[in-house]
Structure 1
Amino acid sequence: MSEDAGTASAAPGLNAERTKAFVDAVVAIAMTLLILPLMDSVNDSAARNHTTAEWLIAERDQLQSFLISFVLIAMFWMLHHRLFVSVVRVSAALFWITVGWMLTIVWMPVVTALTGQVDDDPLQKAIYIGSLIATTGILLATRIHLLRRPELHSSARADLRVGMSIDVSIDVSMIVLFALALVIAIAVPAIGYLALFVMFLTGVVQRGVSRLLR
């Protein structure tokens, strides 16, 4: 065992495996809750004798919101999972940062239902995309905390610093692109939440941010 790993194992803190399991459960529940508005709409359509085509047309906005949010939560979970793979201890500060991150995830089904069922307006877009910025921002705060507290990690200090530096540039790139998507969604209402497709540029922006950080 490396010196860093031994230090981490001896460091006081909360059990990392239970924290990871807690996060996984919260994310799974949030992803499941996304489907509830659609389930309710199926019951309503059945009561009104709507056809499948009529249901699809009537719920197209809710379906779009569901798919976008489902993919985004899955992406956030993957990033958080990668971040916590080598965490062996959870400090009190790290726990509360993680609780803040989970709060933004649990909030997603609410704003998803809002975007699918309430008439579109700039405030709605600000709340939805702002929530995505908050989730990414807290993930960035988690990385910075772990970078400053290597005793919580089993990774060697050099490997941790290199890996975290790369991931920090990804988080910063995502925040920049989410902010850009918000501006586009508000400035061009016809595009709406499709502006989130700018996230496909994450790799390009990340390379530029990485060079700036170096």
Structure 2
Amino acid sequence: MKLEHASTNRLEAFSDGVIAVIVTIMVLELRVPHGDGWRGFAAVVPWLSIYLLSFAMVAIYWVNHHELCRRTEKISFPMVWANMGWLFSLSLIPFFTEYIGEKHFDAFSTALYGVIMVLTGGTYGLLRMSVVTRQKQSGTFEHADQAEARKHAISLIFYAIAIPIALKSPHVALLLYVAVALLWMTPAFGTHTECEADEHPQGRSR
């Protein structure tokens, strides 16, 4: 079977498997407190906080990737390789999550965390563009895609700004990373609901 005729179901299933492994790796990196009581637990709160942020970002990408795959029924070579690039970037998040925790949120590790966020967002942007190209070819491009593309660009700008800020004030940069996650969290699920509502009246199935 030619790749051009393959269903996006295969791409989505493979990506889901990789994302499941990524989340598993992050969970396995969580630390058990050595001390007792609240004082011991407080020692691992920074680890839990960066894990929560990274988990939120992976979850947001999973939701948006799911919706992105639903917008076209067939894959293309650009989509496949853009997806692989995005998964590669996403797979580095556990490493940088561990690194920033190990270095106690210092300036360099916090800046590097922003770099991987830019890389992941950039490769996802390439995937989005390849899907948009496919949509335009099939005449299924939607205005909602343009709005999400603008939000995606704003997120990348926030990350890019946070990197140099991290070298001076890591905590401010971390707040910017959290702001991006909050920006996407509710709209991601809201978009899912809207897409479902748009699909059912048309009787579209995958």
Q: 1:147 Cα deviation (Å)?
A: 2.1
Residues 26, 102 of structure 1: 8 Å contact kept:
yes
Q: Could you tell me which residue of structure 2 aligns to residue 85 of structure 1?
A: 70
Give, in whole Å, the separation in 1 of the partners of 2:173 and 2:71: 39
Give, in whole Å, the separation in 1 of the partners of 2:50 and 2:137: 37
Q: 1:120 Cα deviation (Å)?
A: 3.7
C-alpha offsets along residues 101-128 of structure 1, whole Å, 9 cap, x if unaligned?
A: 1111111111101111124433312221
Equivalent of 2:10 in 18, 26, 34: 18
SS of 2:96 mapped into structure 1: helix
SS of 2:92 mapped into structure 1: helix
Q: Could you tell me which residue of structure 2 aligns to residue 206 of structure 1?
A: none
Structure 2 runs not aligned, ≥5 long: 185-206
Residue 118 and residue 146 in structure 1: after superposition, are their counterparts in 2 closer, same or farther (change >3 A)?
same
Give, in whole Å, the separation in 1 of the partners of 2:4 and 2:99: 42
Q: 1:68 Cα deviation (Å)?
A: 0.7
Equivalent of 1:67 in 27, 47, 52: 52
* 1:31 matched to 2:23: yes
Q: Could you tell me which residue of structure 1 aligns to residue 133 of structure 2?
A: 148
Q: 1:161 Cα deviation (Å)?
A: 4.5
* 1:102 matched to 2:80: no
Q: 1:53 Cα deviation (Å)?
A: 2.0
Structure 1 runs not aligned, ≥5 long: 1-9, 204-214
Report the TM-score, using the length of structure 2 for normalisation.
0.77
Residues 147, 161 of structure 1: 8 Å contact kept:
no
Equivalent of 1:184 in 153, 165, 172: 165
Root mean square deviation of aligned Cα: 2.6
Give, in whole Å, the separation in 2 of the partners of 1:20 and 1:108: 19
SS of 1:29 mapped into structure 2: helix
Give, in whole Å, the separation in 2 of the partners of 1:190 and 1:164: 33
How many percent identity over aligned positions? 22
Report the TM-score, using the length of structure 1 for normalisation.
0.75
Give, in whole Å, the separation in 2 of the partners of 1:18 and 1:63: 33
Count of residues paired in the alignment: 183
SS of 1:178 mapped into structure 2: helix
Runs of 4+ in structure 1 over 6 Å off: none
Q: 1:190 Cα deviation (Å)?
A: 4.6
Residues 13, 92 of structure 1: 8 Å contact kept:
no
